[in-house]
Amino acid sequence: MKGSRKKLPYRVKKKINGLVFASPFIIGFIAFFLMPLVNTIFYSFNKIGVGEKGGMTFEWVGIQNYIDLFATEVTTDSQPMARLFTEENTTMLISVPLIVIFSLFMALLANRKFKGRAVVRLIFFLPIILGIDVVVKMLTMTTGATESLDTGSGLLNGSYITMFLLRVLNVPRRILFPIMNYVENIFDLISQAGVQTLVYLTALQSISPSLYEVAKMEGATAYETFWKVTIPSIIHITLFVIIYTVVDLFLDSAIAEEAYSFAFTQNKIGVGSALSVVYIFNVLAVLGLVMLLMGKVVKKNAK
Amino acid sequence: MQNKKNVKPKKNKIKAGNDASLAIYLFKNRSKKGIVNVFSLVLILGLCFTILYPILSLVPVVFSSIEELGNPNVIWIPLEGSTVSFKAAIRLAMPAGMMTMVKSVLYAAGIMVIQVFFSAMVGYALARVDFPGRKLVFALVIIVFLLPRQSLLLAQYIYFTHFDVFGIMDIFTAAGEIKLINNPIALVMLAVFGFGVNQSLFIFLFSQFFKNIPKELEEAALIDGCGFYRTYFKIMIPNAVPIISTVGILSFVWNYGDTYYTNYFNPDGGYMSTILTTTFNTANKEYIQNAVRVWYEIPLVTDMAFDAVKQAAVLIFLIPLAVVYLIGQRKLVENMENSGLVG
């Protein structure tokens, strides 16, 4: 009797304390996420002006802001809005697989046993600090166009390799040039792969060595081992890495500046909010697609 | 014992029978391994070079004198060393002298401590306490992580401009609202309430970590008479050092380099990252070139001088990060392994 009476309050107490611990986030969610979200949606259906007393005035305009956004408004580079979104999504489509595969590749290399591994790892994770937005901007946005400064130094553009591929192997320009572009800007790719490489390396290290031993005993080649042991072991973490990459890429996008410019330099808060709402749906659609596709792959590999 | 005896003769038989083929097999295997090793070594060196190249290529630019920039004869070693670029960079990027950097570092460290403290609390509650609505809160953390912060920028900005918590501000001010834009309190508040730089990710990492701590530890603490708070601070936190240091490093690096929150919510805060982006904007090129010309009495200042000063500024900016990175890097890999994110 005494025991149960003591136990029950403890559990209740624990629950209350848990709620207290979680409360900063819950309050923050309501104040800094939910309210802004509701407001954004609300603003996007209104024309917003400045009231006589300094407050904001609202005038319901329905979906006019959305129509304006795509029909008449332009970006700060005076390009149509739809183009901004297509560009963003195509980069996403190309960059995400590249970054994920690349970071896995780097992690595989860093996971090998060789002398001086500590130094190599030190360098491999440098992108965590070199990949910060400011640093990348300051390193790559060179105005003087001196060759030694450029990270993509134009090494390949006029080189023999390009000429060889174009003239002798007849690789079509349309395919070759984008690829060359990516090879040249490999630093951009690396700079975005820091955290992903770290996550992959830890995932690789946590695979039990006995699995590899078994594979070796059974006479599996390195190729087979990679596909049958390594990949299934890291497929769960791959989902995380892909989602992280998508989110990270969306963070760098120019939408924030566009929305800010709409709202505070052009004084069209409604249109800016409409842009934000469209953007939210865009992100959710991409993530939904990723999860749908990857969910199937994960399930398949888990069995 | 019997098994062992049986196996041994078998092995010998194979060796005796196929000595030649075994030698060939071993040779093939070894040469294959050698090729793979050489190949991966080349790849590793290449990648290391690619990562370091942007930094290495700065050295000749940054250390050469302004007049000499763009000399086609110079590739790696400047003819005449000079620190003018650095001096100019310090003068431009650190208006308050060393205090600018100290302030940035202190800001990043302070926000880091807040982020770690509150993320750990939320993460612990999500992982170990079955409070009502736990699953919902966990889902919310994920949603916050997924939605890019800038999608809510406008509303947050307006929200901070007319800051008013559920009408409480009526009591304190006449207008019933206070302006928190350009006030560091806004940034601190975001960190406390779980909305700092990538904080939902940190909460997620913490909750994954605390999930893996054995339940017995908690039960033992309970039997010994530890309450909820004592269990958390005396048992859980000392056990969570790996994840705390991982999150701490990431948080410091990201806060120090953050331009988003500082730029929009506290543009005049004097953080180095903000100063870099605003001062070394391409629009300011002429201004910087003129400044260098006047300050150091150099007759001819080209476009390249702008780059040189800019790059010198980046190098200075990177110093605190490099220190933190050098100290924390090795731990980072070890700690991530224990973080519970994997496996």
Q: What is the SS3 assignment for A50?
A: strand
A271 and A258 Cβ atoms separated by less than 8 Å = no
Q: What is the DSSP letter of B178?
A: B
Length of chain B, in residues:
343
How many CB atoms sit inside 10 A of residue A146's CB?
A: 19
Residue B281, phi then psi, degrees to nearest 5: -70, 150
A216 touches chain B (CB under 8 A): no
Q: Is residue B65 in some structural domain?
A: no
Place of tokens 């999150």: B247
Closest Cα in chain A to B328: A122
Is A139 in Cβ contact with B122 (below 8 Å)? no
Q: Roughly how many angstroms between the first and final C-alpha of chain A, as a whole number?
A: 48
pLDDT tens for the 303 residues of chain A, in order:
444 444 567 778 888 888 889 999 998 898 888 888 888 888 888 887 776 665 667 777 777 888 887 877 777 777 777 888 888 888 888 888 889 998 999 899 888 888 888 888 888 888 888 888 788 777 764 543 433 334 444 455 556 666 677 777 777 777 777 677 777 677 778 888 888 988 898 888 888 888 888 988 888 888 888 888 888 888 888 888 998 898 888 877 777 778 778 877 777 788 888 888 888 888 889 889 888 888 888 787 765
Question: Based on the domain organization, do B117 and B35 belong to the same domain?
Answer: no
Query: Residue A246's closest chain B neighbor by CA?
Result: B146
Identity of residue A277: V
- Using the beta-carbon criterion (under 8 Å), do B194 and A29 form an inter-chain contact? yes
Whether residues B9 and B142 share a domain: the answer is no
Q: Is position B70 within any domain?
A: no
Residues of A in contact with B75 (CB under 8 A): 148
By the CB < 8 Å criterion, does A22 face chain B?
Answer: yes
The token pair that represents A241 in the structure block: 């890495």
DSSP-derived secondary structure letter, B214: -
Question: Does residue B239 fall inside a structural domain?
Answer: yes
Which candidate in B150, B205, B258 is best for mutational testing of the A interface (most A CBs within 10 A)? B150
What is the radius of gyration, based on Cα positions, of chain B? 29
Contact with chain A for residue B42, Cβ under 8 A: no
Tens of pLDDT along B70-119?
666 666 676 677 777 788 888 887 777 788 888 889 999 999 999 999 99
H helix or E strand, kind and range, residue A56? strand A56-60
- Inter-chain residue contact B125 with A195, CB threshold 8 Å: no
> Is the C-alpha dihedral spanning B38, B41, B43, B45 positive or negative?
negative
Tell me, yes or no, whether B62 lies in a domain. Answer: no
Answer whether residue B77 is part of any domain.
no
Chain A touched by B286 (CB under 8 Å): no
| Global pTM value | 0.82
Judge whether B337 is closer than 8 Å to chain A, CB to CB. yes
Instruction: Show residues of chain B in contact with A21, CB under 8 Å.
Output: 121-122, 124-125, 129, 232
Number of domains in chain B: 2
Q: Kindly state whether A94 is in contact with chain B, defined as any CB-CB distance less than 8 angstroms.
A: no
Q: In this complex, do A256 and B282 lie within 8 Å of one another by their Cβ atoms?
A: no
How far from A51 is each of A48, A54, A56, A65, B178, CA to CA, in Å?
Answer: 9, 5, 5, 20, 18
The candidate with the shortest Cα–Cα distance to A125, out of A201, A183, A233, is A201
Which token pair is A26?
A: 């819950």
Same domain, B144 and B242: yes
Q: How far apart are CA B193 and CA B199, in angstroms?
A: 9
* CB-nearest partner of B53 from A35, A151, A259: A151
Whether A253 and chain B come into contact, CB under 8 Å, resolves to: yes
Same domain, B48 and B159: no
Q: Which of A25, A125, A148 sits opposite B329 (nearest CB)?
A: A125
**Dist CA A232 CA A223 (whole Å):** 14
Give DSSP secondary structure letters for A135-171.
HHHHHH--SS--TTT-SS-STTTTSHHHHIIIIIS--
**Looking at residue B173, what is its pLDDT?**
58
Please report whether residue B196 resides in a domain. yes
Q: Which of A103, A117, A202, A248 has the highest number of chain B CBs within 10 A, making it the mutation to test binding with B? A: A202
In a domain, B31, yes or no: yes
CA dist B67 and B301 (Å) reads 7
Q: Are the beta carbons of B106 and B255 closer than 8 angstroms?
A: no
Contact list, A44 vs chain B (CB under 8 Å): none
Say yes or no for a CB contact (<8 Å) between A190 and B336. no
Residues B250, B105 within the same domain: yes
Tokens of B131: 């409070």
Task: Please list, in sequence order, all residues whose beta carbon lies within 8 angstroms of the beta carbon of residue B207, skipping any fewer than 6 positions away.
Answer: B122, B123, B124, B126, B127, B138, B141
Chain B CB contacts of A121 under 8 Å are 329-330, 333
Top residue of B119, B121, B152, B254 to mutate, by most chain A CBs within 10 Å, is: B152
Give the minimum alpha-carbon distance from A246 to chain B in angstroms, rounded to a whole number.
9
The residue to which tokens 């595989």 are assigned:
A108
Residue of A nearest to B250 (CA): A128
Distance in angstroms (rounded) separating the CA atoms of residues B83 and B97: 17
Which residue does chain B place closest to A201, by CA atoms? B333
Q: Where exactly are the structural domains of chain A?
A: 77-302
**Residues, chain A, total?**
303
User: B residues 167-226 near A, CB within 8 Å?
Assistant: 190, 192-195, 201, 203, 222
Residue B136: CB atoms within 10 Å: 10
Residue found by looking up tokens 């920039």 in the block? B69
Tell me the residue range of the domain where B248 lies: 84-338
Chain B: give the shortest CA distance to residue A42, in Å. Answer: 10
Nearest residue to A247 (alpha-carbon basis) of A99, A141, A138? A99
Report the candidate in A16, A23, A33 with the shortest Cα–Cα distance to residue B121. Answer: A23
Which residues on A lie below 8 Å from B310 (Cβ)? 138
Last residue of a domain, one of B41, B56, B71: B56
List of chain A residues whose C-beta atoms are within 8 Å of the C-beta of residue B50: 186-187, 190
B92 Rama class: left (phi>0) / alpha (psi -120 to 50) / beta: alpha
Cα–Cα distance measured from residue A125 to residue A139, given in angstroms and rounded to the nearest whole number: 18
Displacement of CA B126 from its chain's centroid (Å): 24
Q: Where are the alpha helices (DSSP H) in B18-152?
A: 19-56, 58-63, 84-93, 98-128, 134-146
Cβ contact B108:B184 at 8 Å: no
B188 with B240, same domain: the answer is yes
DSSP state of A164: I
Is B151 within 8 Å of A281 (Cβ atoms)? no
Helical pair B272-279 and B98-128, crossing angle rounded to 10 deg: 120
Beta strand extents in A69-149 (DSSP E only): none
Output the domain CATH number for residue B293.
1.10.3720.10
Select the CATH number that applies to the domain covering A77-302 from these four: 3.40.50.920, 1.10.3720.10, 1.20.140.10, 3.40.640.10: 1.10.3720.10
B143 and B273, same domain (yes or no)? yes
Structural contact between residues B310 and B319, judged by C-beta atoms closer than 8 angstroms = no
Query: Minimal Cα distance from A122: which residue of B?
Result: B329
Both B297 and B149 in one domain: the answer is yes
- Spatial neighbors of A2 by CB under 8 A, at least 6 apart, are none
Q: Could you list the pLDDT tens digit for every one of the 343 residues in chain B? A: 444 444 444 444 445 556 777 778 777 777 877 888 888 888 888 888 888 887 887 777 778 777 666 666 666 676 677 777 788 888 887 777 788 888 889 999 999 999 999 999 999 999 988 888 889 999 999 888 888 887 787 788 888 877 766 555 555 555 556 777 778 888 888 888 888 888 999 999 898 888 888 888 888 888 888 888 888 888 888 888 888 888 898 899 999 988 888 888 888 878 888 888 888 877 777 887 888 778 877 777 777 778 788 888 888 888 898 888 888 877 777 777 666 666 4
- Residue indicated by tokens 């970054």: A99
Round to whole Å and give the CA distance between B100 and B90: 10
Q: Which residue of B has its CA nearest to A244?
A: B146
Do A144 and B121 lie within an 8 Å CB cutoff?
no
Residues B119 and B262 placed together within one structural domain of the fold? yes
Residue of A nearest to B37 (CA): A114
B47 and B102 in a single domain? The answer is no
Q: Collect all residues of chain B within an 8 Å Cβ-Cβ radius of residue A65.
A: none
* B318 and B277 part of one domain: yes
Cα nearest neighbour of A195 on chain B: B250
Q: Are residues B42 and B140 in the same domain?
A: no
**Is residue A43 within 8 Å of residue A59, measured between CB atoms?**
no
**DSSP helix/strand/coil, B64:** strand
Q: How far away is chain B from the Cα of A231, in angstroms, using its nearest Cα? A: 13
- Torsion (CA) A181, A183, A184, A186 in degrees, nearest 10: 120
Cα B284 to Cα B290: distance, rounded to the nearest angstrom: 10
The reply to whether residue B250 touches residue A133, judged by beta carbons under 8 angstroms, is no
